[in-house]
Structure 1
Amino acid sequence: MAQSVKPPPFRPHPFFARCYARLAGPALEKAGVAEHRERLLAGLTGEVIEIGAGNGLNFPHYPPEVTRLVAVEPEPNLRALARDRAATSPLPLEVHEARAERLPFPDASFDAAVACLTLCSIADPPAALAELHRVLRPGGQLRFFEHVQARTSGMRRLQRVLDATVWPRLMGGCHTGRDTLATLTAAGFTPTTVDRFDFPETRLPTPAGSHILGTAVRGDHAGAP
């Protein structure tokens, strides 16, 4: 059943989107994020939905066994870049204007879903994950690669301060300290593999450095919205 609760209004961040596409995105690729994208998407087959697809940096890493890829991106600047990238992809690829909290697709439409560096900035992560649960077929996979709540208490305190003040305003709505694993579990997903690591590797820990990458399976029922 579709979400009945209206999500918070979408707030575009055009300046951040342009900076991400020109600077932050390429910097992450240079730091080695492509290896993690490959791990995230390896072995996917069938019909797949990716939420918060940004400018489409994941597209080249999808395996050819994916028979349909639906990419959702609400930010106009990033969506336009994703459509340009999709036009050169060998995959059957669609880029849609939509929000993860309200997906315009029927129940049980997809074999797998992908959330890559996006749940940190979605306004309502529980609603987004409930929607992914809805559009996945029973037993469908959720692949996730996200920066999350730090493992040390000192860094978690810093994350709380940053998330309550400047970080979301400067970084396109991003939050550094979300407990994404707990949120997806509450939404009805059962994690099957979880790799925790710091990225990029730096001498000093950074507020957005703690990452998880893994797979979860859609359970029989969704968590409370």
Structure 2
Amino acid sequence: MSPRTSRPALRHPLFARFYEKVAAPALDKAGITEHRRRLLSGLAGEVIEIGAGNGLNFAHYPPEVKRVVAVEPEPRLRALAEQSARTAPVPVDVVDGLAERLPVADGSFDAAVVCLTLCSVADPRAALAELHRVLRPGGQLRFFEHVRADSPAMRRTQRVLDATVWPLFMGGCHTGRDTQAAISAAGFTLASVERFPFPETRLPSPAATHILGTAERPHPGGRP
């Protein structure tokens, strides 16, 4: 399969400014840096990161990574990611593209990274199929995502928000996606999953339940 090309720009200018000025600093203050480090720890070789935002993960890639292809469709965030790439400890190529149509060839990468991304893609099933396509057999998918809540009451709240105002004001984000199940359904084998609230607040948040972990694209026939 050849690389995917040509599409209209995906623009969320108000959300991009909000994320840059408000959300990202708030997440830093809440301690997201440690989760970013754990997400990327031990990676090596060629890596693709989708939904790279303004490039806040770049500083935490280990030196064993030869190159990162960072895909970001929102123009303002992509420009900020290009600035972050200039000071990254590893080579980073920032490119335009959608998670559902990645502009790279089959089996090109040793690892893929999604960080607070699958909540906002238009078609998470298609995005995960693309990640499966571009990974080499045995390649890793690293994920840090907020997901469907544990309690029935909060799940009801998530359904109402996701059907009304939340995606509109939060750049297409959905609070209640069952991302762990979606990863398995896409053909990945889950290797490790941690589930925890982030950030920890006094009042419950519909976007607080997070998972952090690793999945693998199996080898054909299940061989090691």
* TM norm. shorter chain > 0.5: yes
Q: 1:3 to 1:96 in 2, by over 3 A?
A: closer
The equivalent residue for 1:180 is 179
4+ runs deviating over 3 angstroms: 1-4, 8-11
Q: 1:175 to 1:9 in 2, by over 3 A?
A: farther
Cα distance in 2 between the residues matched to 1:161 and 1:135:
35
Measured after TM superposition, the shift of residue 12 of structure 1 is 1.7
- Alpha carbons 1:114, 1:143 under 8 Å: kept: yes
1:33 aligns to 2:39 (yes or no): no
Cα distance in 2 between the residues matched to 1:220 and 1:166:
42
Q: TM-score scaled to structure 2, two decimals?
A: 0.94
The equivalent residue for 1:195 is 194
Gaps of 5+ in 2: none
What percentage of aligned pairs have identical amino acids? 70
Q: 1:200 is paired with a residue of what secondary structure?
A: coil
* Amino acid aligned to 2:147: V
Q: 2:23 is paired with a residue of what secondary structure?
A: helix
- Alpha carbons 1:2, 1:134 under 8 Å: kept: no
Cα distance in 1 between the residues matched to 2:163 and 2:195:
25
- Alpha carbons 2:146, 2:175 under 8 Å: kept: yes
The equivalent residue for 2:107 is 108
Q: 1:128 is paired with a residue of what secondary structure?
A: helix
Q: 1:153 to 1:2 in 2, by over 3 A?
A: farther
Counting matched residue pairs gives 219
Q: 1:100 is paired with a residue of what secondary structure?
A: coil
Q: 1:38 is paired with a residue of what secondary structure?
A: helix
Q: CA RMSD in A?
A: 1.8
Measured after TM superposition, the shift of residue 205 of structure 1 is 1.5
Q: TM-score scaled to structure 1, two decimals?
A: 0.93
Cα distance in 2 between the residues matched to 1:155 and 1:9:
35
Cα distance in 2 between the residues matched to 1:9 and 1:119:
20
